[in-house]
């Protein structure tokens, strides 16, 4: 029996593009390739320009600043964070940031709460910017749980707006019975936040609490980056060795490792002269912005700080800093080695921590 085969179904008709259509398709494809190529060239050119700008900016910072006058605290924070990021890029993990946290107030000479709250606010802004710029998690450290709770409640909204920033204290993981009963309810565990952190920012510590900071850095932070933020370490060092305070060895084994990466220390002086106006007031600042040199800045009448001396190798002590300012002002009129020069300068022109070079385990704080 013969089986009748069904005729094969014809393939669907696909219209063939005419020659003008093919030319249009080829031209569109070619234009798309040219556009992509130009976009890639533009991106590469923009990347090279950004890299060159970053290299030029780094070279400028290595040379230091000829003048400096920040227009706001936001600019100060940006400059400080940029210096911290540059130091982290060079592998440094013990850093110091120091600048006046409150205008017209020298640290703790003003109202304590005013200084503490202003410093926390600045540190929060820096931590948020550091986290956004680097993608790292930042853990802020206050001296104890009571201050941590107060700051967490006061700056709750700011912390919620900065997901990469957490807050803890020097005694994390070592709570007292009072802390467990009254001060830790309903808050995130700071120990877990510390374990996940990449950078620690310590602030508002007193001299007595430096021992707690040393323990925390040794046992918890370890090789991770630790930044002391406006802690006025030079003021705290002056109390070491006194009755009821940690020994001077704390400077030799711990504080000496913290390298100043952004540092502004203002000083005001006056000198009497034999002609009118008889008393001349002058002021300046010891300045450092990593990776730039240490600079002596003289304050001008318009508020701008102008560089009058710099040293890329080591930090000026306060006696040398004052001498450079006087030299720039033309007030260094006493003969070298004369009795008047001795009476003006005094017997001692440096502090004990500036003299104890042979006892330090590191010279990072001087460099």
329 token code pair: 């002002």
Is residue 178 pLDDT above 70, yes or no? no
Question: What phi and psi, each to the nearest 5 degrees, are found at residue 232?
Answer: 50, 60
Crossing angle of helices 145-154 and 112-134, in 10° steps, is 70
Q: Tell whether the torsion through CA atoms of 206, 208, 214 and 219 is positive or negative.
A: negative
Alpha helices in the chain (DSSP H): 19-63, 73-89, 112-134, 145-154, 156-160, 177-182, 190-196, 210-216, 233-237, 249-253, 318-329, 339-345, 352-355
CA 8 to CA 31: how far, in whole Å? 42
Least confident piece of the model among 41-55, 242-256, 290-304? 41-55
Share of the chain above pLDDT 70, in %: 78
pLDDT of residue 277: 81
Structure confidence by residue, pLDDT tens digits, 195-209: 999 999 999 999 999
Structure confidence by residue, pLDDT tens digits, 6-30: 555 555 555 555 666 666 767 676 6
**DSSP character for 109?**
G
355 token code pair: 């003299």
257-269 mean pLDDT: 96
- Closest C-alpha among 229, 240, 226 to residue 205: 229
Helices (H) and strands (E) in the chain, counts: 13, 10
The owner of tokens 């260094």 is 332
pLDDT of residue 1: 47
CA 49 to CA 30: how far, in whole Å? 28
pLDDT of residue 103: 72
pLDDT of residue 237: 96
341-345 mean pLDDT: 66
Report which of residues 74 and 276 the model is more confident about: 74
Least confident piece of the model among 102-106, 115-119, 154-158? 102-106
Is residue 187 pLDDT above 90, yes or no? no
CA 202-291-121 angle, 5° bins: 30
CA 86 to CA 80: how far, in whole Å? 10
98-117 mean pLDDT: 72
pLDDT of residue 15: 57
Structure confidence by residue, pLDDT tens digits, 28-60: 766 777 667 777 777 777 666 655 555 555 567
pLDDT of residue 33: 72
């Amino acid at each position: 029996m013969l089986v009748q085969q069904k005729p094969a179904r014809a393939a669907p008709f696909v219209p063939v593009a005419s020659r003008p259509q093919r030319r249009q398709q080829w031209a569109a494809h070619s234009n798309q390739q040219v556009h992509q190529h130009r976009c890639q060239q533009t991106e590469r050119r923009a990347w090279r320009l950004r890299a060159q700008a970053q290299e030029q900016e780094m070279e400028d910072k290595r040379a230091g600043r000829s003048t400096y006058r920040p227009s706001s605290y936001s600019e100060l924070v940006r400059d400080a964070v940029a210096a911290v990021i540059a130091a982290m890029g060079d592998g440094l993990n013990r850093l110091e940031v120091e600048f006046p946290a409150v205008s017209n107030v020298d640290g703790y000479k003003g109202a304590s709460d005013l200084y503490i709250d202003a410093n926390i606010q600045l540190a929060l802004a820096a931590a948020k910017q550091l986290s956004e710029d680097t993608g790292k998690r930042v853990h802020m450290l206050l001296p104890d749980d009571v201050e941590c709770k107060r700051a967490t409640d006061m700056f709750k909204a700011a912390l919620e707006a900065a997901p990469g920033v957490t807050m803890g204290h020097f005694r994390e993981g070592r709570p007292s019975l009072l802390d467990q009963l009254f001060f830790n309810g309903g808050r995130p565990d700071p120990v877990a936040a510390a374990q996940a952190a990449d950078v620690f920012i310590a602030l508002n510590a007193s001299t007595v609490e430096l021992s707690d900071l040393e323990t925390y850095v040794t046992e918890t932070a370890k090789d991770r980056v630790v930044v002391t933020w406006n802690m006025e370490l030079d003021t705290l060092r002056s109390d070491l060795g006194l009755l009821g305070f940690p020994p001077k060895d704390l400077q030799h084994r711990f504080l000496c490792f913290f390298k100043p990466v952004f540092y502004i220390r203002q000083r005001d002086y006056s000198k009497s002269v034999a002609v009118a106006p008889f008393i001349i007031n002058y002021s300046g600042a010891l300045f450092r912005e990593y990776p730039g040199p240490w600079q002596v800045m003289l304050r001008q009448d318009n508020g701008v700080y102008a560089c009058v001396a710099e040293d890329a190798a080591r930090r000026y002590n306060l006696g040398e800093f004052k001498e450079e300012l006087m030299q720039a002002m033309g007030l260094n009129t006493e003969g070298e080695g004369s009795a008047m020069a001795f009476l003006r300068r005094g017997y001692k022109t440096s502090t004990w921590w500036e003299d104890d070079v042979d006892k330090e385990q590191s010279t990072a704080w001087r460099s």
